[in-house]
Amino acid sequence: MIDCHTHLDDERLICDIDQIVGDFEADGLDFIIDASADFATMQKAFELSQKYDKIFATIGCHPNDALTFDQKMADLMAEYAKNPKVVAVGEIGLDYHYDEPSKEVQHKAFVEQLDLANSFGLPVQLHIRDAYGDALQVMKDNRSLLKNGVLLHCYSGSKEMAQEFLKFDAFFSFGGAITFKNAKKEEII
């Protein structure tokens, strides 16, 4: 079993990381993929992947942090991408839940990171919120950059939209909302 999206760098967890990793192993988890959201979390995820055999890292800039995606971050991503413990570029995508950063800034960072993932033969781990239509269009416009795999993290879109993403042979993960008492599991699954 694999936990495909964690944030072990969270300050509430990092002081107990040895215990957490031990608990994961005792619970039968084979691997943990620690997701990046910005420059600092990318560095921490990479460090954890180097320290623990069962932890792997993603590299990327979350859409809410798209303003911070610059050449320095792209260069570090390219350096880390060469390491076998880096298994995807993510969590990247579009998030229109808040007004900032602008759609244009998010779009630019998204496409540049898709290109980086493709250049290193890595799959992408996508964070899409309130932007499924635009994300799908970006994917259609950049289909050639998505030949290494797609995971839609914490998917909450419609069944119809899921059918569109499946045309990219996408995989889906579901967050904690699926466990809520009022969750419409039949609609989600």
- The CATH number for 2-188, chosen from 1.10.3720.10, 3.40.50.10190, 3.20.20.140, 3.40.50.720, is 3.20.20.140
Mean pLDDT of all residues in 141-145:
97
Q: What's the pLDDT at 21?
A: 81
Interhelix angle 103-119/71-81, nearest 10 degrees? 30
Report angle CA 44, 172, 68 to the nearest 5 degrees: 35
Q: What's the pLDDT at 18?
A: 84
Dump pLDDT digits (tens) for 27-75.
888 898 999 999 999 999 999 999 999 999 999 999 999 999 999 999 9
Q: What's the pLDDT at 179?
A: 60
Domain boundaries, the chain: 2-188
Global confidence as pTM: 0.88
